Amino acid sequence: MTFKRWFHVGLVVFAVGEIAGPHLFRADHAHFWFEDIPAWGSIYGLVSCLLIIIGSKLLGKLWLTRPENYYDS
């Protein structure tokens, strides 16, 4: 479907833009070494997202979640 197609196009654009950008335009200095990794934002974005979802779900399943009426006395 078109949404999916456009979405993938967008992803490619962002990733390429991130890699190419600092070379095409005047780049400002980075604070840390990892910021110079190509497509750093994209990679970290994906990693963060997966980490958060998986980590939180695990935390929930193992410890934090309770049925809805847990506090109703």
Partner 1 sequence: MTREWIHPGLLLIAGAWILPFCKGRTKRAVMILLPAAALVECVVMQPGTYGVVRLLGQEVIFGRVDRLALVFSYVFALVALIGMVYSLHVNDDAQHVAALTYAGAALGAVFAGDFLSLFLFWELMALSAAILVLLRRRPAAVAAGFRYVLVHIFGGLCLLAGIVLHWSHTGSLRFGDLSPYAGSAAFTLILIAFLVNAAVPPLGAWLPDAYPEATATGAVFLTAFTTKSAVYALIRGFAGTEILVWWGAAMAVYGVVYAVLENDARRLLAYHIISQVGYMICGVGLGTELALNGATAHAFAHILYKALLFMGAGAVLQVTGLRKLSDMGGLYKMMPRTLSLYMVGAFAISAVPLFSGFVTKSMVVSAAGESHRAAIYLLLTLASSGTFLHTGLKLPYYMFFGRDRGLRAEEPPRNMLVAMGLAAVACVVIGVVPVVLYSQLPYRVDYIPFTVRHVTATLGLLGFTALGFFLLLKQLDPEPVVSLDTDWFYRRGGTAVQNFAQGALARLEGSVSRLSDVVMQRFVLGVGAQLRDIDLRGVDAMMVGIGRLTEEVSCDLTLAMSGHVQRYALIMAAGILAGVALAVFGL
Instruction: Work out whether 54 is an interface residue with partner 1 (CB under 8 A).
Output: yes
Is residue 35 near partner 1 by the rule CB under 8 A?
yes
Distances (CA, A) of 13 to 9, 43, 50, 69, 70: 6, 14, 21, 46, 47
Exactly one of 2, 5, 30, 62 binds partner 1 (CB under 8 A); that residue is 30
Q: Which is nearer to partner 1, 5 or 67 (CB)?
A: 67
In order of 7, 27, 36, 45, the CA distances from 58 in angstroms are 29, 40, 32, 20
Neighbours of 34 (CB within 10 A): 10
Summarize as ranges the residues that interact with partner 1 (CB under 8 A): 7, 10-11, 14-15, 17-18, 21-22, 25-28, 30-32, 34-35, 39-46, 48-57, 59-60, 63-68, 70-71
